[in-house]
Amino acid sequence: MDMRILLQRTLRAIAGFSICVALAAQPAPPKYDPVSVARGQQAFVASCGFCHGSRAKGGEKGPDLLRSVVVLDDENGKGIGRVILKGRPEKGMPKFAMTEDQIVDIANFLHQSIYSAADRDSYQTLNIVTGDASAGKAYFNGAGNCGSCHSVTGDLKGIGAKYEPVTLQDRLLMPLDFGPSASTKAVVTVTVTTPSGEAVSGPLLWIDDFTVALRNSQGTYVSFARKSDVIPQVEVHNPFKPHSDMILHFSDAEIHNLTAYLVTLK
């Protein structure tokens, strides 16, 4: 197996992440022409929003258009246009005189809204900082025992400016960097001791029930067959164990307070 893939798989397994989750944090590019969507939104709010709601999710009189089969089946405004131009008098919807371009804009606005609702990878978090920064500071210096590894004037200096709050919150829970750039960071290490007593340590590259592999101090890839759980002896050192242990006991309020505190470390 390609060394790079093997490393990525190991890191992925350690982090519990898949690379695609990392990439998913990037908002998806708009599927429909943003200029047309913006014009369509303006026209929709002005002409249609009174009945269908300004977000097209339904109002007092008109149905939710994001779940409408007419809209879902529409292609480039053709189906939507028929309803706009003719109206639905039997349901109390008047007809609207609109140009073809206006109809295409409204269709693009509706299709982009549906795409955004359906594409969970494009969802944006809101203002997540709701915690009490002073309670977070007290936790940091007290019950959280964070100072045993971290310092707000050292490794965490300016961390509130470095990351978005949501990233900061996720990283305080589990700081492991992942993805291709992680290959430059020694994260999890292993010591393998053979029956003859020779011990080799270094960044862990792979481990399963049958093989363990690491990069030794010379930078060389070394692998060992595992004959049993104890031959050779394998000790994995996970520097993030304190975080793994904390996750089992954290309350959501403690997490929110800590985030609120870390955000202030600009």
Interface ranges with another protein (CB under 8 A): 1, 9-10, 13-17, 21, 55, 57-58, 64, 66-67, 69, 72-73, 114, 117-120, 123-131, 166, 169-170, 173-174, 176, 207-210, 236, 243-244, 247-248, 250, 252, 255-256, 259
Burial 35-55 (b: 16+ CB within 10 A, else e): ebbebbbebbbeebbeebbeb
Amino acid at 17: F
**Nearer of residues 57 and 150 to another protein, judged by Cβ:** 57
> Residue 15 corresponds to which amino acid?
A
Could you give phi then psi for residue 249, rounded to 5 degrees? -120, -15
Q: Rounded to the nearest whole angstrom, what is the least distance from the CB of residue 264 to another protein in the complex? A: 16
Distance in angstroms (rounded) separating the CA atoms of residues 265 and 172: 14
33 vs 170, beta carbon nearer another protein: 170
Nearer to another protein, 20 or 97 (CB): 20
Between 61 and 157, whose beta carbon lies closer to another protein?
61
Helix (H) or strand (E) holding 84: helix 78-86
Min separation Cβ 152 and another protein, Å: 22
In whole angstroms, the minimum distance from the beta carbon of 85 to another protein comes to: 22
| Least distance to another protein, CB of residue 130, Å | 4
Q: What's the burial of 110, exposed, middle or buried (CB within 10 Å: 0-12/13-18/19+)? A: buried
Nearer to another protein, 24 or 98 (CB): 24
Closer residue to another protein in complex, CB, 1/97:
1
Which C-beta is closer to another protein: that of 25 or that of 35? 25
Closest approach, Cβ 39 to another protein, in A, equals 23
- Provide the 8-state DSSP code for 94: P
Q: How far apart are CB 150 and another protein at their closest, in Å?
A: 18
Q: How far is the CB of 120 from another protein (least distance, A)?
A: 4
Rounded Cα distance between 216 and 221, Å, is 7
Q: How far does Cα 60 stand from its chain's mean position?
A: 35
DSSP string, 11-73: HHHHHT--HHHHHHTSPPPPSS-HHHHHHHHHHHHHHTHHHH-TTSS--SSSPPSTT-HHHHH
What is the rounded distance in angstroms from the CA atom of residue 203 to the CA atom of residue 220? 11
Distance, in Å, from the CA atom of 242 to the CA atom of 178, rounded to the nearest integer, reads 18
